[in-house]
Chain A
Amino acid sequence: MSQTVTTREPATRPARRRTGRPWALIVAVCLVFGFLYAPIVWLALVSFNDSRTVSRFTGFSTHWYAELVQDERVIAALGLTLRIALSSAVVCTIVGTLAAFGLRRTFRGRGLWTVVLTLPLVVPEVVMGVSLLAFFVKLAGIPLGFWALLAAHVAFSLSFVVVVVRSRLAGMDTRLQEAAADLGAGPLTAFRTVTLPLVAPAIAAGSAFAFLLSFDDVVISSYLTGVGSTTLPVFVYGQASKRGVSPEIVALSTAMVGVSALLLLIGVAVVTWRARRVGRRVDLTVAG
């Protein structure tokens, strides 16, 4: 019997190597993804639990979600969060894009400006929150709430937009602008017809970044929320720390994850759709 094995082995081994699955790799990947997503999946399951305790599953129910929609505090917090996230994204996109373009030119102190602009990326959030609180309230006299939150969110999101747009600009051939000018396009026309369309994806990515950063910020926002003006993440954090993990909070968290995931899926879908549209047009040309 051992003889048959040895004779068969040389023939089967190369084939098995090619077609066989890398089990160790698959296991490792599963472990990593399990580590990342198991808590979220568990959260989603618990949010549909009928019971008030989160440790025991008694039956399927959506009434925690129903309660959520009726909770005025949640609706108010959601409204404020969205208003701030949108406003912050708009401000960051405009200012950040302009800054990215400005930093493309060489001028004295450009290195310093670059460092200053990207510093918020490395300053600890707690420190930033404390300093923003001290500055806005004590020094500048801005009341806590919407404006203070907006200013703070712009302050920490701006650098992301600058970094994303700058990297796109750096990868762009400056000859393209020269070619546009060469063909008779003034600076504004060249920007509108060549530069902007090429940088648009980076600007879109930057603004999405700014929106999400603002949407899920807890630490800095928690310093600056005023009475009756709480953002959703701060509200969740407050509820969880006061009363422990209640089913309402679990449902709210699941809803937030759902919304974020949905936004991500839409983004991916748009990108693939655009890519495919270009591809299809090519196919048509070849056929015709």
Chain B
Amino acid sequence: MPRLTDEPPGGFHPVAERTPDTYAPVEVGIYGVTKCFSDQVAVDGIDLQVHEGEFFSVLGPSGCGKTTLLRMIAGFADPDSGRIELDGVDMVGVPPYRRDVNTVFQSYALFPHMTVWDNVAYGLRRKRLRGAELRRRVAEHLELVQLARFAKRRPTELSGGQQQRVAIARALAARPRLLLLDEPLGALDAQLRKQMQIELMQIQREVGTTFLYVTHDQEEALVLSHRVAVMNAGRVEQVGYPEDVYERPSTRFVAGFIGTSNIMDVKVSDMDGEWLELTGGGVERLRAVLPDGHSARHGQQLSVTVRPEKLHLYDADGEEQPPPGWCSLAGTVADVVYTGMSTQYVVDVPGGDSLVAFVQNTRRISDAGTPGQPVRMAWDPEFTVVLDSPARGGAEPAEAERTKEEVH
């Protein structure tokens, strides 16, 4: 089992150069936005900055306030407090038809009494485009979504995926500064979703419009976005690059919501520079890097997480044992699930918890463990992530980028 040596030490650093977008000016600035419905807080003091040309996703479970946030940016609702700036101008109180923002609705909301062509032309006509220019722009956008030959059809005569494309063409035709997408692939079947994800990504890279994408599908957010904001209960839990959010979840919620996570409650037993030695239920050796700019003290309670694919399984009394310095933990296999590419092991550890490990099926299948077998689980301590550190706020990654911006 080779160790991944090509990663920088001290945790995962996203390659910022990949997306020059984050150095671009801020397109949408959301500052302390709060919105309540009767007695319920839907959006609770959100700060977010989306840069020009960025594909930015807001990811969260249903009811986390992500759609409310989107509707406030579109202008269908106004925040109770806070500012929503578009290109530096506060938009609160400006009606939707005066905002340079277009929306792709979850239900598509295509005009049923108009042809596909007229649907796409709708926004352009409102901008007083006529004649050849109008025809050219509509044709261009129908071409973009590959629906030119369906121009004369009614929306009801199209399939779900085609309707979705019409909605995208209609919203993009007027060339908005910002395109809002409210779970646009939610109504499509799995295969079509995958295809549309790729198309959406291509369209965004092609037109270069800033996309603000709302979804509850973590995979979609990770695949499509330059950056992701994870929301829960009206708050932003973490903002970062997809790799960042997945590899270095900052809160228990993010760790649990994105992918599968093994969360352990432990105590600080020793400190060595930036390294923490941790003890707790069944742990033989557990080390973690203290996140930047944070402090810990002896005996402090902490939650740590490690992704299932980082875990390696060893026979409890086999010859092969984990490399020295790795975190390790003994347990017994409770369940083995073969999933094709990998095998999922559920391992009971002392203290009542159970951890999940994904092991790539690169070995012969006969080598797989069986339930009841005693095993040792181990992982490189770089993959231990400390959660819920009190000083780590949701807006922090954005702050970090701003400093980068200043440096340049």
**Chain A residues close to B by CB (< 8 Å):** 173, 175-176, 178-186, 189-190, 193-194, 197-198, 278, 281-282, 284-285
B294 within 8 A of A: no
Find A184's partner among B74, B107, B154, B174 (CB 8 Å cutoff): B174
B383, chain A: closest CB distance, angstroms: 44
Find A285's partner among B101, B127, B152, B174 (CB 8 Å cutoff): B152
Instruction: From known contacts A197-B113, A282-B157, infer whether A182 and B96 are also in contact, taking CB-CB under 8 Å.
Output: yes
Decide: A278 and B154 in contact? CB cutoff 8 A. Answer: yes
A271, chain B: closest CB distance, angstroms: 15
B154-182 interface (Cβ within 8 A of A): 154, 157, 170-171, 174
Determine the chain A residues whose CB is within 8 A of the CB of B97 once the complex forms. 181-186, 190
Determine the distance from Cα of A198 to Cα of B111 in the docked complex, in whole angstroms: 9
Decide: A178 and B105 in contact? CB cutoff 8 A. Answer: yes
A142, chain B: closest CB distance, angstroms: 42
Decide: B112 and A178 in contact? CB cutoff 8 A. Answer: no
Find A181's partner among B95, B111, B127, B170 (CB 8 Å cutoff): B95
Would you list 6 pairs from A and B whose C-beta atoms are within 8 A, ordered by A residue?
A178-B76, A181-B75, A183-B122, A186-B97, A281-B152, A285-B149
Decide: B126 and A189 in contact? CB cutoff 8 A. Answer: yes
Chain B 235-261, CB-CB to A under 8 Å as 1, else 0, gives 000000000000000000000000000
B93-114 interface (Cβ within 8 A of A): 95-97, 101-103, 105, 107, 109-113
Determine the distance from Cα of A219 to Cα of B122 in the docked complex, in whole angstroms: 50
Nearest residue, chain B, Cβ from A172: B112
Nearest residue, chain A, Cβ from B150: A285
Instruction: From known contacts A184-B97, A282-B157, infer whether A179 and B127 are also in contact, taking CB-CB under 8 Å.
Output: no
Determine the chain B residues whose CB is within 8 A of the CB of A282 once the complex forms. 152-154, 157
Determine the chain A residues whose CB is within 8 A of the CB of B170 once the complex forms. 183
B322 within 8 A of A: no
B68, chain A: closest CB distance, angstroms: 14
Decide: A179 and B126 in contact? CB cutoff 8 A. Answer: no
A179, chain B: closest CB distance, angstroms: 4
Determine the chain B residues whose CB is within 8 A of the CB of A189 once the complex forms. 126
Determine the chain A residues whose CB is within 8 A of the CB of B101 once the complex forms. 182
**Chain B residues close to A by CB (< 8 Å):** 74-76, 95-97, 101-103, 105, 107, 109-113, 122-123, 126-127, 149-150, 152-154, 157, 170-171, 174
Determine the distance from Cα of A178 to Cα of B105 in the docked complex, in whole angstroms: 10
Nearest residue, chain A, Cβ from B106: A175
Determine the chain A residues whose CB is within 8 A of the CB of B157 once the complex forms. 282
Find B109's partner among A179, A184, A185 (CB 8 Å cutoff): A179
Nearest residue, chain B, Cβ from A278: B154
Decide: B95 and A173 in contact? CB cutoff 8 A. Answer: no
A72, chain B: closest CB distance, angstroms: 47
Find A175's partner among B75, B95, B105, B152 (CB 8 Å cutoff): B105
Determine the distance from Cα of A28 to Cα of B174 in the docked complex, in whole angstroms: 60
Find B107's partner among A175, A182, A198, A284 (CB 8 Å cutoff): A175
Instruction: From known contacts A178-B96, A278-B154, A282-B157, infer whether A185 and B126 are also in contact, taking CB-CB under 8 Å.
Output: yes
A234, chain B: closest CB distance, angstroms: 41
Determine the distance from Cα of A193 to Cα of B96 in the docked complex, in whole angstroms: 17
B298, chain A: closest CB distance, angstroms: 56
Determine the distance from Cα of A182 to Cα of B77 in the docked complex, in whole angstroms: 12
Decide: B113 and A178 in contact? CB cutoff 8 A. Answer: no
Nearest residue, chain A, Cβ from B173: A183
A202, chain B: closest CB distance, angstroms: 13
Determine the chain B residues whose CB is within 8 A of the CB of A190 once the complex forms. 97
Determine the chain B residues whose CB is within 8 A of the CB of A182 once the complex forms. 74-75, 96-97, 101-103, 171
Instruction: From known contacts A179-B105, A184-B174, infer whether A194 and B126 are also in contact, taking CB-CB under 8 Å.
Output: no
A185, chain B: closest CB distance, angstroms: 5
Nearest residue, chain B, Cβ from A174: B109
Determine the chain A residues whose CB is within 8 A of the CB of B127 once the complex forms. 184
Determine the chain A residues whose CB is within 8 A of the CB of B153 once the complex forms. 282, 285
Determine the chain B residues whose CB is within 8 A of the CB of A178 once the complex forms. 74, 76, 96, 103, 105, 109
Nearest residue, chain A, Cβ from B71: A178
B124, chain A: closest CB distance, angstroms: 9
Find B123's partner among A173, A176, A184 (CB 8 Å cutoff): A184
Determine the chain B residues whose CB is within 8 A of the CB of A184 once the complex forms. 97, 123, 126-127, 174
Determine the distance from Cα of A143 to Cα of B95 in the docked complex, in whole angstroms: 50
Given contacts A185-B122, A281-B152, 16 further A-B contacts (CB under 8 A): A173-B107, A176-B111, A178-B96, A178-B103, A181-B97, A182-B97, A182-B101, A182-B171, A183-B122, A184-B97, A184-B127, A186-B95, A189-B126, A198-B113, A282-B152, A282-B154
Nearest residue, chain A, Cβ from B151: A285
Find A183's partner among B149, B150, B174 (CB 8 Å cutoff): B174
Decide: B112 and A198 in contact? CB cutoff 8 A. Answer: yes
Determine the distance from Cα of A197 to Cα of B122 in the docked complex, in whole angstroms: 14
Determine the chain B residues whose CB is within 8 A of the CB of A176 once the complex forms. 109, 111
Decide: B102 and A183 in contact? CB cutoff 8 A. Answer: yes
Determine the chain A residues whose CB is within 8 A of the CB of B112 once the complex forms. 198
A204, chain B: closest CB distance, angstroms: 14
Determine the chain B residues whose CB is within 8 A of the CB of A175 once the complex forms. 105, 107, 109
Ranked 7 nearest A-B pairs via Cβ: A184-B126, A183-B123, A175-B109, A179-B109, A181-B96, A285-B152, A181-B97
Determine the distance from Cα of A142 to Cα of B313 in the docked complex, in whole angstroms: 96
Find A180's partner among B74, B122, B149, B154 (CB 8 Å cutoff): B122
With most chain B CB atoms within 10 A of its CB, the pick from A193, A281, A284 is A193
Decide: A194 and B111 in contact? CB cutoff 8 A. Answer: yes
Determine the chain B residues whose CB is within 8 A of the CB of A285 once the complex forms. 149-150, 152-153
A286, chain B: closest CB distance, angstroms: 9
Determine the distance from Cα of A182 to Cα of B123 in the docked complex, in whole angstroms: 8
A165, chain B: closest CB distance, angstroms: 16
